[in-house]
Structure 1
Amino acid sequence: MPDPAEVRAGVDLVAIGADLEPGTLLSAYRNGLFPMPIDPDKRRSKLAWYSPDPRGVLPLDGLHVSKSLRRSCSRYRVTMDHSFEAVMTACADPAREGRWITPEFIRAYTTMFELGWAHSVEAWNDDGDLVGGLYGLRIGAFFAGEAMFHTATDASKVALVELVEWLNSTGAELLDVQWATEHLATLGVVEIPRPEYLRRLRSATEAGEND
């Protein structure tokens, strides 16, 4: 795959093709790339590999937790790595606008979960229903957030609070969210230039073994 450092500034799409094998994914994330299907509704959609410039990251000391979100944190039961595939399936709901997660992605990242590289955070209501969550990959002190979902107020945000607490307690350095959005900005997400992101990524992935 091309080196993102050699891609023209402001260009997000870096490559097309390859596969979702564990070795391919680990190599891609270590080099600042992540995959998305070009057309998720096609049976054989090609893979596109992105390295956004600028890149959205959430400083691990910069999560904005409002008073209402603090109250919501006591409303749900939160678990980690309890229902990885269920979280991915919920994130892949065809009714969601902008859905991009295909069955191929679910299989690939579930394999990464089974190998210990991928993680999920789940939020449950009092009835025991999964109402929110997120998932991503961890390499050393780096976490790549992939997607999140909610079917109840603030449930995905509560999962994010738990994720940040876990990352801080385990020596993480970098939480990547790919692209910044207005919604994510309200939670503290900022944008940094690709060269800075790649420097921080290199430091974080080399900081320690996969937890």
Structure 2
Amino acid sequence: MSQPKHATPEQARPFLEAFKFFYQINDASANFFMRNTYPISIKKGTMLHKAGDICNHIYFITKGAVRGYVNDNGKEKITWISVENEMVTSIYSYYMQQPSLENMDAIEDCEILSMSHEKLNELYNLEPSVNILVRRILEKYYADAEVRALTSRFSDADTKYEFFLNTYSHLANRIPLTYIASFLGINLETLSRVRAKKRSIKKS
């Protein structure tokens, strides 16, 4: 099997630009990312990671949308949804190197950049400043996880949906309603009722 081609400067540009929001890395770190990051294209519905496996890669989405979900007695429950310029992985599995509980799949056709756990740890040792970058990224994603946890704590469906619109407005008209309902922990009929009620209030 031939060695996959690493990211070109043009392919690497989106995630290197995204990193600047958190921390300015040096040229050596940027070059390491380019040499050890690989572009992959996956079609809608393709599994990116399967529960029970160890997640050995972290992914940066340059195009498309990915969801994380668990199977609960045969029912899929969405735990997160990420789109362009966001990174995804099974955090627990990736950092602890233990089998994950989450599945990840594409809910749109995706262009993704992938980096292995091994290479990221190599970069930590070669360029210690990258530890600051990753710490700041993890702080942001931990805050996002807390927001998702708060969303699930609301018992009222109207409050959940309002919170969703205020926090994830970029997903509201993009992601299928079945996925939004699952993410909010309500059934599709309830979500449809809430949306209809909101439209009615706007018109009045």
- Give your verdict on TM over 0.5: no
Higher radius of gyration, 1 or 2: 2
Larger relative contact order (CA 8 Å, sep ≥ 6): 1
Q: Which has the higher strand share?
A: 1
TM-score (norm 1): 0.28
TM-score (norm 2): 0.29
